[in-house]
Structures are given as structure tokens and as C-alpha cells.
Amino acid sequence: MTAGMAATSKQAATETLDLLEDRLRRVQYILNGDSAARDTTLDKHATTTTSALSRLHHLERTLQQLTVRSPAVAEVLALHKSHPSLFHPTSPSTPTLSAAELAALVLSHTKLITTNSTNLSNLASTPISDPAPLTKLISLRQRIEAVSQKQDEHARGVAELRTRSARIVEHWVEQGCLGMGDKWAEWEERLRGMEIAVRRREGARRREEGIV
């Protein structure tokens, strides 16, 4: 019987150490990444043949190293030391009432219970509206979506026509108004040059006639 209890205690200690090592590996993986997890896995395989005390010392050393390397671990341990109730909250005690106190509590809420019962009865007796209009509206959903798409297409077409109209007006102003103004100026300049040439010829002809 004693040997069986010793074997059971040894197995429980081994399983507890396995759980602690597994949790420590998870913490190392979260803090340091995959490389630390692989190193810890190697340590686990190496310590399968060691004693429980050696494994416990190894866990303590690893935890101390994590505390030194990671400020977050140190802060969590300090918080656990100063406020252990945060990690092990105690369940609030439920007050016990006597039968008389419970009856008085129920009687004090009689009005509220009656009001809620009346509201529930009215809600149960409220007739449900005819679902036919809603069903018809749902059946028209596809047609409404099609009309909405056509409306969007028309809006895009109108916007495109406005853009083209603006370009045409701009082209007409540039070519028809401003361009014709330039042409009129050119024609006027040419007429002025021709007029000067005609006057010169007339002057020359008159001088020749006067000389003759």
C-alpha cells in the first residue's frame, strides 16, 4: 500500500512538473519566439531522466532568467506578490434569507409583477399585421434593384453628355469666337497692307502724270 502511494505521488509530481514546463515553454514562446521554444524543448528531453528536484530547480532558474530579460514578467510577478487576490479572486458570499424575508420581498414587488403580467398579456393579444404587403414588397426587390441600376446608368449618361457639351462649347468658343477674332485681325492687317500698296501706286501714277 505504501509503495503504491509512493508511486502515485511520484507520478503526480512528474505530471505537475510536466505541466509547469509546458506552461513555461508557452511563456517563452510568446516572449522570445520559436527559437526559445526549441531550446526549451531540448531541455525537456534532456531532463526526462533527472530527478524532480533538479527539474524544479531548473524551472526556478529559467523563471528567474525570464524575470531578468523581460520587464513584463517582472511586473506580473510583482503584481502577483502585492495583489494575489487579482489572480485568485474569491467568490462573493451569497446572503441567505429566511422564508418570511423572501415572502416579504415577493410581496413588495407585487405591483411590478402584476404590471409585467398585464404587459405580457397585452403583447400576446396584439394582432399580427398582414404579411402580404411586406411579402409583395420583398418580391419587388429585384425590380427595384433593376430600376435603381437603370437610374444610375441614366445618371452616368447625363453626366457624360454634360461633359461632352462642355467640351463642344469650349471648342466653339476657342475656334469660333477667339479663332475668328484672330482671322479678322489677320484680314484687317492684309487689307491695310493692300490699301497702303494701292495708295503708293496711285501716288506714283499721279507723280508720273504730273511730270509728263
pLDDT at 75: 81
Rounded CA-CA distance 205/27 in Å is: 117
pLDDT at 95: 59
Q: What is the pLDDT of residue 153?
A: 92
**pLDDT for res 84:** 76
pLDDT digit string (tens) for 118-156? 888 887 777 777 778 878 888 888 888 889 999 999 999
Per-residue pLDDT, 151 = 92
* Residue matched to cell numbers 503504491: 4
Kindly state the cell numbers that stand for 173. Answer: 468658343
- What's residue 128's pLDDT? 75
Rounded to 5°, angle at Cα 151 from 156 and 164: 20
Question: How high is the pLDDT of residue 212?
Answer: 47
pLDDT for res 152: 92
Please give the radius of gyration of the chain, using alpha carbons only, rounded to the nearest integer: 50
Which residue ranges of the chain lie beneath pLDDT 50? Answer: 1, 41-42, 45-47, 212
Q: Where are the domains of the chain?
A: 2-86, 138-212
